[in-house]
Amino acid sequence: MWQCQGVSRPDAPAGAVRQGSLREWNLAVVLGRIAAADHPPSRAGLAAETGLTRATVSAVVEDLVAGRLVTEAEPTPRTGAGRPARGLVLAADGPAGLGLEVNVDYLAACVVDLAGRVRHHTVHRADLRPLTPAEALRRLVELATRARAEAAREGLTLAGAALAVPGLVDDAGLVRLAPNLGWRDVPVPALLAGHPPLTASVDGVPPLVVENEANLAALGELHAGPDGAASFLHISGEVGIGAGIVLDGSLFRGARGWSGEIGHIPLHPDGPACRCGGRGCLETYTGQEAILAAAGLAGADLPADTATTRLAELAEGGEPAVLRALHHAGSALGVAVAGVVNLLDLDTVVLGGGYAPLAAWLRPPVLTEISHRVLTAAWSPVTVRPAVLGAEAAAVGAAGSVVRRILARPAGWLTHRG
C-alpha cells in the first residue's frame, strides 16, 4: 500500500515522546471516544471515562472544536437535575474521505464524512477489461472530480483518497498483479500524476493510498458492522476470492500488504490447476466461475454482478442443481475457513462481496465444517454472518480509511489546518 500509516488507533511512538505528544495523544483519545460513543457525550462524561480531569477535557475539546472536527450537538430536552450537558458530535462539515474503486465491471467513488456517513456515492458500470489502465484511471478521475465537487457543495473538505484495486499492490502504489482486471505492473501514482487533487501531498500525508480491495472491504465492514473493534475474517467472494483480516479492530496487512489471499489456500493439493500456478486452490472450488459451472450456468456468460443475484433467485426457487452447487461451495469454503480459524483463533467470519447474497445457503455448510474441524469449536462458537455492506464495501472502506486516519491522528489535521 502506498505510504499507508496504518488505519487504526494512534501508533505507539516507537521513537520518542516529546512534550507535545501528550496533547496529541489526548486529542486522539478524546476524539476517539466521541467517535465511538452512541450518544453524544458531554465533557464531564468524557472526563469520567478517560480519567482525565474535566479541565483537560475542556481544553482538548476546545482544540477539536476550533479545528472543525467536533461540534456541539443540539441540546436534548430532558436530562434530569443539574446543568444540562452539551453533547459533542463529530463535525458533519469537517474533513471527509474520498473512496475510489476500480473493479472488473465498475468504477466507484464515494465520500464518507468524519462520522462515517456515506455522503455521496456513484457507480459507473462498464467492463473495464478491454480498457488500458490509463484509460480506466482517466474515467476514475472523472468520477473523483464529480465527487469532489459534490463534497464541496455539502461543505466537506476532502482530506485524502484511497483507491481499492482487486490485486496485489506495492508499497509504492504499483499494482503488481490484478489478474481479473488484466493489469500487471501498473504504476497508479504515476498515471495519476496530472491530477493534482489526487497527487499533491499535503503536510506529508499522501493524497492517495492504493490498497487491495479485499482489505478495504474488510475495513468498510469493520466500521459499518455490529462489532466495533472485533477480530474477524472478511471474505470477498468475487471472481477471485480475497479476504481481509481484522485483528483487534485494525487491519492486518502482512509484511508487504499482501495478506488475505485466501483464494489460493490449497484445498486438495492434487486438485485442478489454478491460474496461480498451484493446484486445488480454494478459488477453483468456490470462485464465482466454479459455482456457476457447478450450478449448470457456465455458458450463460452473465455480468459478474448479476450472476450472484441470479444464483440467489434460483436458490430461492429451490433449483436443485443450484442448491447442490452452493452446498458444495460452502463446504469447500468451510474447510478453508476452519483452517484459518484454527490458525488465528477468530470468533467471527463475515461473508462479503458476492457471498453476502448467498450467505443463507453458504452459511450452514460452512458452520458444519467449522464445527467438525476447529479444535476449539466446542468451547467457543464461531459466528458466521453476511456482510452489512454490499458491493460498495471496498469504496466505502477506502473512504473510511482516510477518515479513520484523521480520527487516529487529529493533531496532524489540526496543525495543517492552522
Q: Which of residues 29-48 bind DNA (CB under 7 A)?
A: 42-45
The answer to the question of residue 15 lying near a copy of itself (CB under 8 A) is: yes
The answer to the question of residue 16 lying near a copy of itself (CB under 8 A) is: yes
CB of 91 to DNA, least distance (A): 17
* Beta strand ranges found along 73-135 (DSSP E): 88-90, 95-102, 106-113, 118-125
CA separation (Å) from 360 to 236, 255, 316? 16, 35, 10
CB of 205 to DNA, least distance (A): 20
- 75 or 226, CB closer to DNA? 75
- Tell me which H or E stretch contains 242: strand 241-247
The answer to the question of residue 10 lying near a copy of itself (CB under 8 A) is: yes
Q: How many residues bind a copy of itself (CB under 8 A)?
A: 67
- How many other C-beta atoms are found inside a 10 Å radius of the C-beta of residue 136? 20
The answer to the question of residue 66 lying near DNA (CB under 7 A) is: no
The residue within the footprint of a copy of itself, chosen from 130, 277, 318, 320 (CB under 8 A), is 277
Give the integer Cα–Cα distance in Å for 187 and 210.
10
- CB neighbour list of residue 317: distance below 8 Å, 6 or more residues apart: none
Q: How many residues bind DNA (CB under 7 A)?
A: 33
Contacts with a copy of itself, 161-190, as mask; x by CB under 8 A: -------x-------x--------------
- 86 or 310, CB closer to DNA? 86
200 binds, among DNA, a copy of itself, none (CB under 5 to 8 A by kind): none
**Residue 158 and residue 110 in contact, taking contact as beta carbons nearer than 8 Å:** no
The answer to the question of residue 226 lying near a copy of itself (CB under 8 A) is: no
| Three cell numbers, residue 136 | 480506466
| 3-state SS class at 243 | strand
- CB neighbour list of residue 51: distance below 8 Å, 6 or more residues apart: none
CB of 144 to a copy of itself, least distance (A): 29
**Residue 53 and residue 30 in contact, taking contact as beta carbons nearer than 8 Å:** no
- 88 or 292, CB closer to DNA? 88
| 3-state SS class at 409 | coil
CA separation (Å) from 229 to 95, 216, 246, 307, 364? 23, 15, 9, 33, 26
Give the integer Cα–Cα distance in Å for 99 and 396.
6
CB of 404 to DNA, least distance (A): 22
The answer to the question of residue 75 lying near DNA (CB under 7 A) is: yes
- 22 or 300, CB closer to a copy of itself? 22
**Residue 388 and residue 216 in contact, taking contact as beta carbons nearer than 8 Å:** no
Please tell me the number of Cα atoms within 13 Å of 199 on its side-chain side. 10
- 39 or 117, CB closer to DNA? 39
- 264 or 409, CB closer to DNA? 409
The answer to the question of residue 18 lying near DNA (CB under 7 A) is: yes
340 binds, among a copy of itself, DNA, none (CB under 5 to 8 A by kind): a copy of itself
157 binds, among DNA, a copy of itself, none (CB under 5 to 8 A by kind): none
- 62 or 313, CB closer to DNA? 62
- Tell me which H or E stretch contains 395: helix 393-408
Choose among 233, 247, 241, 242: nearest CA to 211: 242
Total count of residues recorded for the chain: 418
Choose among 5, 397, 402: nearest CA to 164: 397
Give the integer Cα–Cα distance in Å for 103 and 136.
10
Contacts with a copy of itself, 63-92, as mask; x by CB under 8 A: ------------------------------
- 86 or 279, CB closer to a copy of itself? 279
The residue within the footprint of DNA, chosen from 7, 31, 34, 61 (CB under 7 A), is 61
The answer to the question of residue 204 lying near a copy of itself (CB under 8 A) is: no
Give the integer Cα–Cα distance in Å for 226 and 252.
19
By CB under 8 A, name the binding residues for a copy of itself. 9-19, 21-22, 25-26, 29, 49-52, 168, 176, 231, 243, 245, 247, 252-262, 264-269, 276-279, 281, 332, 335-336, 338-340, 342-347, 372-376, 379-380
By CB under 7 A, name the binding residues for DNA. 16-20, 22-23, 26, 42-45, 51-56, 58-62, 75, 78-86
